């Protein structure tokens, strides 16, 4: 005899871009958007990692609120009306990407991740063909001390994906962020060269989740630096199935 068990997950209905959609209670706006095949740009968010809400590219408008809200960190509510695409949001996202491009040295033509860079793809989607802000042109180092991987601070956007995957998935907690503002940088252990780290397991997860050319494998050419992101949801599912 088969007994049917009713689902205890509450369902919510909200309106996104004029369309009524359903989602589970506790889902974020970003989850509802993605589950209903809508696009919303992100750089710091990645399925399988904790929410950080730092890039601010997934900001949306919510009816009744004068401010913008980060979709990755805002829970859905019954009857909520959300707008993910408007002239205001487009201008906001364009400004963010332009500031990211101006803050460090993102020269796509000489980057090994050219054609496989999320920042580059987002700039193309937003129609950015020039940057209105003055380039800072910082002289940042490239850490070549690791025998398999490389860290180029010039291309880092401080999304902290590498920090979170190292701590939450690999469990090594090798990476962290030092400094504040434009002086912030990714460090290893007690701010020592990557190759001298005593905690790094050389798993390469940080390279795979990096959205730009900041973290790359050594010895690869342009076109080979593809990122494999599917392992995060898979590992999460397997850990839930085998606690």
1-30 pLDDT, tens per residue? 334 444 456 899 999 999 999 999 999 999
Torsional sign, CA 24, 25, 31, 32: positive
Q: Are 99 and 133 in contact (CB under 8 A)?
A: yes
**CATH number of 110-229: 3.40.190.10, 3.30.70.20, 3.40.50.11900, 3.30.750.24?**
3.30.70.20
What order do you get walking across the sheet with 68-70 strand by strand? 19-24, 11-16, 81-83, 59-62, 68-70
Strands 11-16, 81-83: pairing is parallel
Q: Collapsing DSSP states into helix, strand and coil, what is residue 159?
A: coil
Using the predicted structure, report yes or no on whether residue 210 has a pLDDT greater than 50.
yes
Alpha carbon 146 to its chain centroid, in Å, reads 24
Torsional sign, CA 170, 174, 180, 185: negative
Encode pLDDT of 56-83 as tens digits.
Answer: 999 999 999 999 999 999 999 999 999 9
Using the predicted structure, report yes or no on whether residue 234 has a pLDDT greater than 90.
no
Where residue 239 falls among pLDDT bands split at 50, 70, 90? Answer: low
What size, in residues, is the chain?
A: 243
Q: Please state the pTM of the whole predicted model.
A: 0.89
- CATH, domain range 11-85: 3.10.20.740
Q: Give CA torsion, residues 64, 66, 70, 73, to 10 deg.
A: -50
Q: 94 versus 110: which is more confidently predicted?
A: 94
Domain ranges of the chain: 11-85, 110-229
How is residue 87 written in tokens? 């002239």
Q: 43 versus 241: which is more confidently predicted?
A: 43
Torsional sign, CA 26, 31, 32, 35: negative
E strands in 193-241: 215-217
Of all residues in the chain, the percent with pLDDT exceeding 90 is: 84
Instruction: Give the pLDDT confidence score for residue 5 in this predicted structure.
Output: 40
């Amino acid at each position: 005899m088969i007994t049917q068990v009713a689902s205890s997950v509450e369902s919510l209905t909200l309106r996104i871009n004029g369309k009524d959609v359903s989602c589970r209670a506790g889902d974020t706006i970003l989850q509802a958007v993605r589950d209903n095949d809508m696009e919303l740009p992100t750089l710091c968010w990645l399925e399988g990692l904790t929410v950080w809400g730092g890039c601010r590219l997934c900001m949306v408008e919510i009816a009744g609120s004068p401010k913008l809200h980060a979709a990755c960190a805002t829970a859905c509510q019954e009857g909520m009306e959300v707008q993910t695409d408007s002239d205001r949001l487009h201008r906001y996202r364009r400004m963010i990407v332009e500031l990211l491009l101006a803050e460090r040295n993102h020269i796509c033509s000489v980057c090994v991740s050219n054609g496989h860079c999320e920042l580059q793809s987002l700039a193309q989607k937003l129609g950015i063909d020039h940057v209105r802000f003055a380039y800072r042109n910082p002289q940042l180092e490239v850490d070549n001390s690791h025998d398999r991987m490389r860290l180029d601070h010039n291309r880092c956007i401080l999304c902290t994906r590498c920090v979170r995957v190292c701590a939450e998935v690999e469990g090594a907690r090798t990476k962290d962020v030092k400094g504040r503002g434009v002086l912030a940088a990714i460090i290893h252990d007690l701010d020592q060269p990557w190759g001298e780290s005593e905690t790094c397991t050389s798993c390469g997860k940080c390279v795979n989740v990096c959205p730009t050319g900041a973290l790359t494998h050594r010895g690869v050419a342009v076109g080979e630096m593809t990122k494999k992101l599917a392992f995060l949801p898979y590992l999460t599912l397997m850990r839930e199935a085998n606690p």
